[in-house]
Amino acid sequence: MPCYLAESTVQNSVEGILHQTYTHWELLLLVDGQNEELEAIVRTLAAKEPRIRLLVSKKNRGVTRSRNIGIRLAKGEWLAFCDADDYWLKHKLSAQLDLAHTQNSNVVCSAFYFYYPQNKKTDLIHTHSSITYSTMLRTNAIPMSTAMMQVDKTQRHYIPQLPAHFIHEDYAFWLTLFQKRPIRVAYAEEPTAHLLQLVGSRSANKWRAAKSHAYILATYGGVPRWKLALLMVSYAYNASKKRIVGRWFTASLFSVYIYYII
């Protein structure tokens, strides 16, 4: 769990992990830059819970570096990710580990809720029940705070460092992971997390998000320009579906058209 300017949300996020029905876990809590109020909160949490490992960086170096330090230092067979403003439901780890065992999968993700603190509203969001590399080229179908991945025993996989003006480094992470080794994704229809939606957050700028998505497809997916245009249409559709279409009706003929043309 990387933390930066998360003093208003981190305690709730950590409590979601503390309340897991599966108890054999270790939380690497990585504070990315000095912040007295945030440090006081996380040090109090770590002092009460021996399963929390606290790491504090004196200088802010970004979420990618923090996550990669966590990936490098993690001791478990499985890695799970949670942002410091998201919240895991209590069955998250146990249900996903059971699903991974049942389906012989090495990556697990799930449906989730968008949570809007302004009006305390939640929206249930489904991505894709079957997720392959082809699916990932059309949309980022693996939300980071719902995901678990089995550690490669021979080599760890790290998150690429994007240029400063791009976001969605998690998408680059998944695309490169699919290219690196065989990936079998299990998808849980039951939601396992609340993902906070804040006005003014990094992902709230849709133009920046779209430019980042195109950059990642071209740079990390090796997608040629002619196909990139089609994939960006699919991206726009899936982004709208998460927030609008998915709330009111199932996929239309347009989604079928996009699926088969690409």
Phi/psi for 206 (5° steps) reads: -70, -30
pLDDT, tens only, 101-113: 999 999 999 999 9
E strand or H helix at 41: helix 36-48
- Spatial neighbors of 33 by CB under 8 A, at least 6 apart, are 4, 57, 58, 59, 60, 61
| Tens digit of each residue's pLDDT (9 = 90 or more) over 20-40 | 999 999 999 999 998 999 999
H or E element that contains 94: helix 92-103
Give me the pLDDT at residue 251, please.
42
Question: What's the whole-model pTM score?
Answer: 0.88
Residue 200 has a pLDDT of 58
| pLDDT exceeds cutoff 70 at 76 | yes
Q: Which residue has the higher pLDDT, 88 or 206?
A: 88
Q: Which of 109, 139, 131 is CA-nearest to residue 209?
A: 139
Q: Is the pLDDT at 75 greater than 90, yes or no?
A: yes
Residue 258 has pLDDT above 50, yes or no: no
Question: Which letter does DSSP use for residue 26 in this model?
Answer: -
pLDDT at 237: 84
Average pLDDT over residues 165-181: 96
User: 197, 115 in Cβ contact below 8 A?
Assistant: yes
Q: Where are the domains of the chain?
A: 77-261
pLDDT at 177: 98
- What is the identity of the amino acid at 91? H
81 burial type by CB count under 10 A (0-12 exposed, 13-18 middle, 19+ buried)? buried
CB 28 within 8 A of CB 55: yes
Q: Which run of H or of E encompasses 124?
A: strand 121-125
CB-CB contact of 110 with 146 (8 Å): yes
Average pLDDT score over the chain: 90
